[in-house]
């Protein structure tokens, strides 16, 4: 159990201390989820509980989906802005152009 606690604390410190690299933040979130899953699986094995093991599998599946969605959002942001730096993202969000009035299907 101490291993999962150490992994979680490392991920939490990595998330808090490095707020400039979005990929690093995403990896820290993944490490937090995996540390929590490890703790649930250890507890399930100690209490001989199959429900905890099934719950651990669900957490791993959700973490994989979250990683895929997060990376696709990062790729789309990189294609749009040319950088994935959070400081540039905050700067660009204040300078975002206004959307055109009317929709693409509306007549002028």
The mean of the pLDDT values for the chain is 84
In terms of residue numbers, what domain contains 44? 2-86
| The total number of structural domains that make up the chain | 1
Chain centroid to Cα 47, Å, comes to 30
Of 39, 40, 47, give the one whose Cα is nearest residue 7.
39
Whole-structure pTM value = 0.72
Do the beta carbons of residue 38 and residue 7 sit within 8 Å? yes
Q: What is the pLDDT of residues 51-65, one digit of tens each?
A: 999 999 999 999 999
What CATH number is given to the structural domain containing 61? 1.10.287.3510
Of 76, 64, 63, 94, give the one whose Cα is nearest residue 22.
76
Lowest mean pLDDT among 2-16, 31-45, 68-82: 68-82
Coil, helix or strand at residue 78: helix
Any domain includes 104: no
Any domain includes 71: yes
Count Cβ neighbours within 10 Å for each residue of 74-88 and write b for 16 or more, e otherwise. eeeeeeeeeeeeeee
């Amino acid at each position: 159990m101490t291993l999962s606690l150490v992994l979680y604390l490392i991920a939490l410190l990595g998330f808090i201390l490095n707020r400039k690299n979005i990929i690093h933040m995403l990896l820290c979130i993944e490490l937090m989820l995996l540390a929590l899953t490890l703790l649930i699986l250890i507890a399930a094995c100690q209490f001989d509980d199959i429900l905890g093991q099934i719950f651990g599998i669900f957490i791993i599946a959700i973490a994989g989906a979250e990683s895929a969605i997060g990376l696709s959002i990062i790729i789309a942001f990189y294609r749009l802005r040319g950088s994935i730096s959070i400081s540039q993202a905050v700067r660009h969000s204040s300078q975002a152009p206004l959307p055109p009035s009317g929709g693409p299907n509306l007549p002028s």
